[in-house]
Amino acid sequence: MDAFSASLMADKREIIFAPTVYKFQTFAQMAEEFKLNERDVVLTNEFIYTPFMKDLGLKCHYVFQEKFGAGEPSEEMIQVMYDAIPYDSYDRVIAVGGGAIMDLCKLLGCKRPDTVHNLYFKRFPVVHEKDVIAIPTTCGTGSECTNISVAIVKDEKDGVLTGGETKLGLVSDDIIPNKVCLIPELLKTLPYKPFACSAIDALVHATESFLSPHRKTMTSELFSEKAMDVILKGFKLIDEKGQDARFEYMDQFVTASFYAGIAFLKAGCGPVHGMSFPWAAPITCPTARATICSSAPSWTTMTSTSPTVRS
Ligand SMILES: NC(=O)c1ccc[n+]([C@@H]2O[C@H](COP(=O)([O-])OP(=O)(O)OC[C@H]3O[C@@H](n4cnc5c(N)ncnc54)[C@H](O)[C@@H]3O)[C@@H](O)[C@H]2O)c1
Ligand SMILES: [Fe+2]
C-alpha cells in the first residue's frame, strides 16, 4: 500500500468539513458580504473577470492565471505566481476559477517556501497564514474543500532528480480553504466540453470514494451517494433536453461536485485516478479527461475484485 493510502486508513476522522460554506446568486453579493478591498488578491481568468467582476469597480487586486502559463499548475508556474504576487501585498486570497486556480490559491494562503520543489517533497513545512475564499467556476474537482494542492513537479528518487516529471498532491489540512462560496452563475460561461469533463470528474470522485477499498466512511454513505444521484439526474436531463439544459441545473452540479470533494477528501479515490495521473501528466492531458479514459477498465476491475463493493 502506498503512503497516501496508509495515511488515509490511519486517520480515524469520519468527516472533515473544514470550510464555512456560502451560496450566493452573484459575485457582487459575495463581494458585499466579505467587504472585498485593496488587501484582497483575486486570482481568476480574464474571461471570468470581464463578465462578472469588471463592472463592479472593486478595489481588490485582480491577477489572471493565464499570465503564469497555460495548463495545470507546475513548479515553474507556481514560482512565476509567487514572483508576480509579493507575499506582503495581500491579507486574503480569493480564488475564482477551476481546480487549477483553487490549487494555486491554496499555496498563496501559505508561508512562502524556499523552493516550490521542496514544498512538494515535504522538505519545507506547510504553514497556513492567510485566509483563502474558494469560489469554483467548474463543477468537477471539489478542490474548494479538499486538503490537496496538485502540481506537475520534477520527479526525484532518493532525493535525486530523475529528469522526468510527475503529478504530485501536496496534502495538508492546513491548505483547506477557510471559506467556500458556491455561485452557480459563474459557470454560465463554461463551455460544454470542459463542463462535461468536470462533471464526469466529480462523478468519478463520488463513485470512487463510495467504492473506496481502503476507507469506507460516513462521507461515502452520505456525500458520495448524494453527489452521484444529483449528477446522474443532471446527465439524464441533458440527454433528454440537450446541452443547454445544464444551465437550469448548474446550482445542483456545482453543489454535487462540492459534495463529491467532501467524500473523497476522507474516503479517497481509487484506480481511476490512480491510473490517470501517471499517463496524463507527461502528455499534458487534463486529469478530468484522463479519468474518463481510465474509467471503463478500472470499474471493471474494481467491481469484480473489491471487497467493499456494495450492490
Ligand atoms: N486539489 C484537489 O482536490 C484537486 C482534485 C482534482 C483535481 N485537481 C486539479 O484541478 C485541475 C483541474 O481543474 P478543472 O477540471 O476545474 O479544470 P481547470 O481549472 O483546468 O479549468 C478547465 C478549463 O476551463 C476554463 N474555465 C474554468 N471555469 C470557467 C468558466 N466559468 N468559464 C469559462 N471557462 C472556464 C479554465 O480556464 C480551463 O481552461 C487540475 O490541475 C487538477 O490537478 C485538484
Ligand atoms: Fe478528479
Question: Which pLDDT value is given to residue 309?
Answer: 31
Question: Which pLDDT value is given to residue 311?
Answer: 23
Question: Which pLDDT value is given to residue 126?
Answer: 97
**Predicted confidence (pLDDT) at residue 244 exceeds the cutoff of 80:** yes
Question: Which pLDDT value is given to residue 42?
Answer: 98
| CATH of the domain spanning 191-295 | 1.20.1090.10
Stronger pLDDT, 259 or 277, i.e. the higher one = 259
Stronger pLDDT, 297 or 231, i.e. the higher one = 231
Q: Which of 227, 127, 136, 144 is nearest to 179 (CA)?
A: 144
Q: Which of 55, 38, 103 is nearest to 77 (CA)?
A: 103
Cα–Cα–Cα angle for 293, 270, 155, rounded to 5 degrees: 80
Question: Which pLDDT value is given to residue 283?
Answer: 57
- Cβ neighbours of residue 100 under 8 Å, at least 6 residues apart? 65, 71, 72, 73
**Ligand 1 geometric centre to CA of 71 (Å):** 9
Q: Is 149 in the pocket of ligand 1 (CB under 6 A)?
A: yes
Is residue 171 very low, low, confident or very high in pLDDT (cuts 50, 70, 90)?
Answer: very high
Mean per-residue pLDDT of the chain = 89
State mean pLDDT over 123-149.
Answer: 96
User: How many residues does the structure list for the chain?
Assistant: 311
Q: Which CATH architecture has domain 3-186?
A: 3-Layer(aba) Sandwich (3.40)
**Ligand 1 geometric centre to CA of 158 (Å):** 32
**Predicted confidence (pLDDT) at residue 281 exceeds the cutoff of 50:** yes
Give the pLDDT confidence of 30-71 residue by residue, as tens digits.
Answer: 999 999 999 999 999 999 999 999 999 999 999 999 999 888
Among 4, 8, 27, 45, the mutation site with the greatest number of ligand 1 atoms within 8 A of its Cβ is 45
DSSP 75-89: HHHHHHHHHHS-GGG
Give the pLDDT confidence of 94-125 residue by residue, as tens digits.
Answer: 999 999 999 999 999 999 999 999 999 999 99
d(CA 290, CA 75): 21
Is residue 302 very low, low, confident or very high in pLDDT (cuts 50, 70, 90)?
Answer: low
**Predicted confidence (pLDDT) at residue 265 exceeds the cutoff of 90:** no
Question: Which pLDDT value is given to residue 3?
Answer: 64
Radius of gyration of the chain (CA): 19
Three-state DSSP at 67 gives helix
Going 208 to 211 to 213 to 215, the CA torsion angle's sign is: positive
Lowest mean pLDDT of 161-165, 235-239, 274-278, 292-296, name the range: 292-296
Among the bound ligands, name the one nearest to the CA of residue 106.
1
Residue whose CA is at the smallest distance from ligand 1 atom 20: 100
Residue whose CA is at the smallest distance from ligand 1 atom 9: 99
**Ligand 2 geometric centre to CA of 288 (Å):** 6
**Ligand 2 geometric centre to CA of 88 (Å):** 33
Q: Please name the residue that has the C-alpha cell 446550482.
A: 251
206-236: b or e for each residue (b if 16 or more CB lie within 10 Å)?
A: bbbbbbbbbbbbebbeebbebbbebbeebbe
**Ligand 1 geometric centre to CA of 176 (Å):** 17
Q: Is 138 in the pocket of ligand 1 (CB under 6 A)?
A: yes
**Predicted confidence (pLDDT) at residue 22 exceeds the cutoff of 90:** yes
**Predicted confidence (pLDDT) at residue 253 exceeds the cutoff of 60:** yes
Q: Is 198 in the pocket of ligand 1 (CB under 6 A)?
A: yes
Domain with CATH 3.40.50.1970 in the chain: 3-186
Nearest ligand 1 atom to alpha carbon 167: 43
Domain with CATH 1.20.1090.10 in the chain: 191-295
Give the pLDDT confidence of 78-98 residue by residue, as tens digits.
Answer: 999 999 999 999 999 999 999
Stronger pLDDT, 217 or 182, i.e. the higher one = 182
d(CA 278, CA 63): 31
Among the bound ligands, name the one nearest to the CA of residue 169.
1
Question: Which pLDDT value is given to residue 199?
Answer: 97
d(CA 311, CA 307): 12
